[in-house]
Structure 1
Amino acid sequence: MTTPRTLTTVRTRLRPLRETDRDLWVRLHTDPAQYPFAPWARSDVARAEELLGAALVHWAEHGFGYGVVEDRGTGDALGVGGVIHGRDRRNLNLYYRLDVPHQGRGLGPEVARAVSADALEHGPALPLTATARPDHRASIRTAERSGFTLAGAAEEGAVLPGVPAVVVERARANDPADVPGPVVLVAPRAEVWRRPFDAETREAVLDLWCATNDSGGAVGFLPGAPRERVAEALAAHEEQMAARTAVAVLLRDPHDAVVAAAWWSAAANPLLGHRRTAYRVMSDPDRRGRNLGRLLMAAMHRVAREDGVEVAELGVRGGTGVDAFYAALGYEEVGRLPGGIRVGADDDRDDVWMARRLDGRPLLS
């Protein structure tokens, strides 16, 4: 997030906010239909223009912020959304507001999922939060589908897991005293391990690995594999970590539960020092559909770039549909061995190799 960039989703494009977006911004923030759950929060024209000015200053100072959501096909403006620093710069705040005619089309989650992953990959290393009125179920569901966990209500004196105190204090600063406080949701935080895990983390990762495997995830074993065998594979990865040839990246929810994990592995050959291979990419099967895979890979890419990695690689088991997930993240197929993975009798799958560059250059010319 150091330079203005445009994010794309299947149906939308999110571009940086501009001065010429004044009419759209003012209309969205003064329209009573936009505030059915908090009518007191609606701005007048002067206040909306003041907020626009602050949003433009944020872009100028930080190179990221709120943007305009456009239809990829027509270029029509659909709303606004993005991430900015919270007050006192103790957190990042996720925000999305679509024009009324475009609500109910699933565009909010589509944009919020992309913005959240982008913030984790490129933004400041701060807690990523979102607030919503407690009765605004659609807004809460959007945040949850983007990977956020409900931390609780921002009532006076509340201590919410993973939420800086200043966020709780300011969340309802402009609310009437007689209404319930807004709820705060928190995105998972990344945790990097360059040495073997402590005992508690090891058990949490092992639990996740077994659960992923038993739910059919392609993480090295068939469903029902004994826990001891998975533990042996985990110990092998920890040996690599001890030898500094592997790095583990975990995601934890605000309650400290490990909800996703993966490893980067480096080859011993110094000629391959600019490359890393991702292994055992897994997320909590009980939270599927909540953007954890995308958030995990965003964290993985961030760690790899910080380590100077230029090319990321990974293997995919054919027939799982996972290749489409990685393709959406910029990975391209660079090799395929038909029938290279034997899942069971009469069930051979292709062994697919995918890669992408992390330095902005194209992988394939």
Structure 2
Amino acid sequence: MDLRFDLDPAVTPELADGIRTLWAEVSNAGGAVGYVPPVTPEDVRGDLLAHLASMSEGHARLIVGRDGQGRVRATAFLHLNTHRIHRHWLWASTVMVHPGLQGQGAGRALLTAVEEAARSMDGVEAVRLTCRGGNGLEDFYRACGYKEVGRVPSAIKVADDDYRDDVTMWRELA
């Protein structure tokens, strides 16, 4: 696994296509990134456009991990808080790694890039994210230094008979 991470890359049509393709591939492999399979790159267009709009307004930043061929293989959006009592932390969302790279350290490398980016931002002291329970993600984030600080039982409905907990994780940057 050899990924190069960039903070705030130029958003080109190729990058947007790469993110949409990654998002669909992660979703279709069972990844908990807001969708239930089957998913096409077109299905995620609206959510990606919302993230990009937030970036253009200065409320979000993007980390992209690319492989040696320049393909998008990992992403995380960093959402900055605008309320004065929450500016000391940011949200990490759409944290995803290509299914073919899972188990090879790419997720840890992505979280390291997230934390380095957060530390470079004035006043940011912590990262907050949520994950879907039932997939072992809490254990992964815990192993990366995050602690569980909240859980809403059955808040995520992935099928008529399949409800998952919405788990909030927190990482101090000190």
TM-score (normalised: structure 2): 0.95
Aligned residue number for residue 314 of structure 1: 129
Number of aligned residues: 173
In the TM superposition, residue 322 of structure 1 has moved relative to its aligned partner by 0.5
Aligned residue number for residue 346 of structure 1: 161
Aligned residue number for residue 20 of structure 2: 206
**Is this contact kept in 2: 1:194–1:244, CA < 8 A?**
no
The letter of the residue matching 2:137 is: V
Give the Cα–Cα distance (whole angstroms) in 2 for the partners of residues 212 and 224 of structure 1: 11
Q: Give the secondary structure class of the aligned counterpart of 1:307.
A: coil
The letter of the residue matching 2:44 is: V
Query: Are 2:81 and 1:267 equivalent residues in the alignment?
Result: yes
The letter of the residue matching 1:215 is: A
Aligned residue number for residue 49 of structure 2: 235
The letter of the residue matching 2:42 is: E
Greater fraction of residues in helix: 1
- Greater relative contact order (CA < 8 Å, ≥ 6 in sequence): 2
Give the Cα–Cα distance (whole angstroms) in 2 for the partners of residues 222 and 344 of structure 1: 8
Runs of 4+ in 1 over 4 A off after TM superposition: none
Q: Deviations over 1:326-347 (max 9, x none)?
A: 0011111111111111111111
The letter of the residue matching 1:253 is: D
In the TM superposition, residue 300 of structure 1 has moved relative to its aligned partner by 0.7
- The aligned runs of 1:149-160 (5 Å cut-off) are none
**Is this contact kept in 2: 1:264–1:277, CA < 8 A?**
yes
**Is this contact kept in 2: 1:194–1:246, CA < 8 A?**
no
Q: Give the secondary structure class of the aligned counterpart of 1:271.
A: coil
TM-score (normalised: structure 1): 0.46
Aligned residue number for residue 336 of structure 1: 151
Give the Cα–Cα distance (whole angstroms) in 1 for the partners of residues 41 and 5 of structure 2: 26
- The aligned runs of 1:1-150 (5 Å cut-off) are 147=1
Of 276, 292, 297 in structure 1, the residue corresponding to residue 111 of structure 2 is 297
Q: Deviations over 1:132-153 (max 9, x none)?
A: xxxxxxxxxxxxxxx2xxxxxx
Aligned residue number for residue 60 of structure 1: none
Aligned residue number for residue 286 of structure 1: 100
Aligned-residue RMSD, C-alpha: 1.3
Q: Deviations over 1:303-351 (max 9, x none)?
A: 0000131011000101010100100111111111111111111111111
| % identical equivalent positions | 36
Give the Cα–Cα distance (whole angstroms) in 2 for the partners of residues 217 and 188 of structure 1: 20
Query: Are 2:70 and 1:246 equivalent residues in the alignment?
Result: no
Greater fraction of residues in strand: 2
Give the Cα–Cα distance (whole angstroms) in 2 for the partners of residues 303 and 267 of structure 1: 15
In the TM superposition, residue 226 of structure 1 has moved relative to its aligned partner by 4.1
Structure of larger gyration radius? 1
Give the Cα–Cα distance (whole angstroms) in 2 for the partners of residues 330 and 288 of structure 1: 18
Give the Cα–Cα distance (whole angstroms) in 2 for the partners of residues 220 and 339 of structure 1: 15
